[in-house]
Structure 1
Amino acid sequence: MRAHYDDIADWYEHEFLAAQRDSDPLELTALLVDLLGAGGGPCLEIGCGTGAHADRLRALGWDPFGLDISCGMLRHASAKLPVAQADAECLPIADSSLAAVMTVLTHTDMPGYPAVLREVARVLRPGGVFVHLGVHPCFCGGFADRSAPAAIVIKPGYRDTHWTTASWTAQGLRDKVGATHRPLPQLLHDFLAAGLVLERFGEGGAPTPTVFGVRARKE
Structure 2
Amino acid sequence: MTAAYDEIADWYEERFGGGEDPLGLHAALGELLGTGSGPCLEIGCGTGHNAGTVADLGWTPVGVDISARMLGHARGRLPVARGDAALVPVRSGAVSAVVTVMAHTDMSDFFAVLRQIERVLAPGGVYAHVGVHPCFVGGFADHSDPAAVVVRGGYRETHWTKESWTDQGLRDKVGAVHVPLAGLLNGVVAVGMGLERFVEGGEPVPGMLGILARKPG
The TM-score normalised by the length of structure 2 is 0.97
1:60-75 to 2 correspondence within 5 Å? 60-75=57-72
User: Which 5+ residue runs of structure 1 have no aligned equivalent?
Assistant: none
Cα contact 2:86–2:116 (8 A) shared by 1: yes
Instruction: State the alpha-carbon separation in 1 of the partners of residues 21 and 178 from structure 2.
Output: 24
Moved more, 135-144 or 32-41: 32-41
Aligned to 1:187: 184
Instruction: State the alpha-carbon separation in 1 of the partners of residues 146 and 199 from structure 2.
Output: 20
Give the fraction of aligned pairs with identical amino acids, expressed as a percent.
Answer: 58
Instruction: State the alpha-carbon separation in 2 of the partners of residues 37 and 177 from structure 1.
Output: 31
**1:6 aligned to 2:12?**
no
1:1-219 to 2 correspondence within 5 Å? 2-14=2-14, 16-18=15-17, 21-219=18-216
Instruction: State the alpha-carbon separation in 1 of the partners of residues 215 and 146 from structure 2.
Output: 37
Alignment partner of 2:63: what SS? strand
User: What do residues 151-196 of structure 1 show as CA deviations (whole Å, max 9, x unaligned)?
Assistant: 1000110011110000111000000000011110011111111111
Alignment partner of 1:125: what SS? strand
Instruction: State the alpha-carbon separation in 2 of the partners of residues 204 and 111 from structure 1.
Output: 25
Instruction: State the alpha-carbon separation in 1 of the partners of residues 63 and 197 from structure 2.
Output: 24
The TM-score normalised by the length of structure 1 is 0.96
Alignment partner of 2:86: what SS? coil
Matched to 1:127, the amino acid is G
Cα contact 1:149–1:208 (8 A) shared by 2: no
Q: How far apart are 1:23 and its partner, in Å?
A: 2.8
Instruction: State the alpha-carbon separation in 2 of the partners of residues 29 and 179 from structure 1.
Output: 22
Q: How far apart are 1:101 and its partner, in Å?
A: 0.4
Alignment partner of 1:74: what SS? helix
Q: How far apart are 1:26 and its partner, in Å?
A: 1.0
Instruction: State the alpha-carbon separation in 1 of the partners of residues 54 and 170 from structure 2.
Output: 24
Instruction: State the alpha-carbon separation in 2 of the partners of residues 74 and 168 from structure 1.
Output: 28
Q: How far apart are 1:111 and its partner, in Å?
A: 1.7
Number of positions where the alignment pairs a residue of Structure 1 with one of Structure 2? 216
User: Which 5+ residue runs of structure 2 have no aligned equivalent?
Assistant: none
Q: How far apart are 1:149 and its partner, in Å?
A: 2.5
Instruction: State the alpha-carbon separation in 2 of the partners of residues 2 and 205 from structure 1.
Output: 32
Instruction: State the alpha-carbon separation in 2 of the partners of residues 54 and 216 from structure 1.
Output: 20
Q: How far apart are 1:59 and its partner, in Å?
A: 1.1
Moved more, 2-11 or 172-181: 2-11
Alignment partner of 1:103: what SS? strand
